[in-house]
């Protein structure tokens, strides 16, 4: 069993770290919210709460599950990692910045793979996340058993940064479908069709998508708005996708529009808003 560093014990990171502990790995944990780390250690025996970056020096691998690239870069800069260790960057982050980070770590003899996830809190708890990995194939093969504790569909998708690129593109497609669904439901309802009927009929028709199948009834029409994925994180992901298009000289007109809508909604609804609250925001507009 390995010694694993785990940084970022939020909605996703906590259940992921729990599964690694249950699989027998020894953990060193860190979170800027100290209670998240001490609370986790209290419930998971022989877990160490890191008090400095030095505490990760004996880790075989360090996993980050953090909000964005700014935070990942700042956190990694403070870590003391041993040559031969592997950084597994599982946040949803900017692929170009991930490449730059991997190059910096390589100079210290530390390999980085980016391994962002899809599936949300439910699949994080179940250990059935989809994981898309960018990086050296040999490093990926070495780390795959660890990733298999956390996910089911684990794909190597290209060189470093490719996982983060694909994750941002996926979340852009998902956000576009969510906004389209929200508009369709509100307009149909204003025309006099029952909202639940609209979702059910789309689910039996060609407009079916992840929002109509797994979010509309579960988090939107019932007013729950508690999927566990924040609107701020969704807006960040769509912004990454739009910037990626620009970086390869293929500006994405629709992604820019979706980013503007999600960012405006996030600003209006505040940092605590769940991404499913876009449904409310579209209705209000
Ligand atoms: P979250 O906000 O619940 O958790 C982030 C954690 O990072 C928090 O515990 C926070 O205290 C900690 N943190 C922030 N700054 C830190 C720092 N400087 N040092 C140490 N810890 C710090 O977010 P989440 O929903 O768990 O998402 C984490 C990542 O996973 C994000 O990149 C997100 O886009 C991605 N993601 C989320 C979901 C989801 O459904 N929630 C799904 C797939 C991917």
Query: How does pLDDT run across 7-17, given as a tens digit for each residue?
Result: 999 999 999 99
Q: What is the mean pLDDT of residues 112-120?
A: 97
Asked about 167 being catalytic, the answer comes back as: yes
pLDDT for position 28: 98
pLDDT for position 159: 98
Query: How does pLDDT run across 75-86, given as a tens digit for each residue?
Result: 999 999 999 999
Best residue among 9, 31, 67, 88 to mutate for probing ligand 1's pocket (most ligand atoms within 8 Å of CB) is: 67
Question: In this structure, which residue's CA is closest to atom 5 in ligand 1?
Answer: 10
Distance 107 CA to ligand 1 centre (A): 27
Q: What is the mean pLDDT of residues 133-157?
A: 98
Domain boundary assignment for the chain: 3-158, 165-284
Is 117 a pocket residue for ligand 1 (Cβ < 6 Å)? Answer: yes
Q: What is the mean pLDDT of residues 95-114?
A: 98
Asked whether the whole model's pTM tops 0.85, one would answer: yes
266 pLDDT higher than 90: yes
Is 224 a pocket residue for ligand 1 (Cβ < 6 Å)? Answer: no
Is 239 a pocket residue for ligand 1 (Cβ < 6 Å)? Answer: no
Distance 65 CA to ligand 1 centre (A): 6
What's the mean pLDDT when you consider all of the chain?
Answer: 97
Q: What is the mean pLDDT of residues 23-29?
A: 98
Query: How does pLDDT run across 163-176, given as a tens digit for each residue?
Result: 999 999 999 999 99
Q: What is the mean pLDDT of residues 103-120?
A: 97
> How far is C-alpha 109 from the geometric centre of its chain's CA atoms?
26
What is the CATH number assigned to the segment(s) 3-158? 3.40.50.720
Q: What is the mean pLDDT of residues 55-72?
A: 98
pLDDT for position 1: 81
CATH architecture under which domain 165-284 falls: Orthogonal Bundle (1.10)
């Amino acid at each position: 069993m390995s010694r694993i560093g785990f940084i970022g014990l939020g909605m996703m990171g906590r259940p992921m770290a729990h599964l690694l502990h249950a699989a027998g790995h020894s953990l060193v944990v860190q979170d800027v919210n100290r209670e998240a780390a001490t609370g986790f250690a209290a419930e998971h025996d022989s877990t160490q709460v890191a008090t400095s970056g030095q505490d990760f020096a004996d880790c075989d691998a360090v996993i980050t599950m953090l909000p964005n690239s700014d935070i990942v870069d700042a956190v990694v800069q403070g870590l003391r990692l041993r040559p031969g260790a592997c950084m597994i960057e599982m946040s949803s982050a900017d692929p170009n910045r991930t490449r730059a980070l991997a190059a910096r770590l390589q100079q210290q003899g530390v390999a980085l793979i980016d391994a962002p996830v899809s599936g949300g809190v439910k699949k994080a708890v179940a250990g059935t996340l989809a994981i898309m990995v960018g990086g050296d194939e040999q490093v990926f093969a070495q780390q795959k058993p660890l990733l298999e504790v956390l996910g089911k569909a684990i794909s190597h998708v290209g060189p470093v940064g490719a996982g983060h690129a694909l994750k941002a593109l996926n979340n852009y497609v998902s956000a576009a479908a969510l906004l389209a669904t929200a508009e369709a439901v509100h307009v149909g309802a204003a025309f006099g069709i029952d909202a639940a009927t609209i979702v059910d009929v789309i689910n039996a028709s060609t407009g079916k998508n992840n929002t109509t199948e797994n979010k509309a009834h579960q988090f939107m029409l019932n007013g729950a708005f508690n999927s566990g994925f924040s609107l701020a994180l969704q807006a960040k992901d769509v912004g990454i996708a739009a910037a990626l298009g620009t970086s390869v000289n293929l500006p994405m007109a629709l992604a820019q529009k979706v980013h503007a809508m999600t960012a405006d909604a996030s600003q209006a609804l505040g940092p605590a808003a769940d991404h499913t609250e876009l449904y409310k925001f579209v209705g209000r507009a």
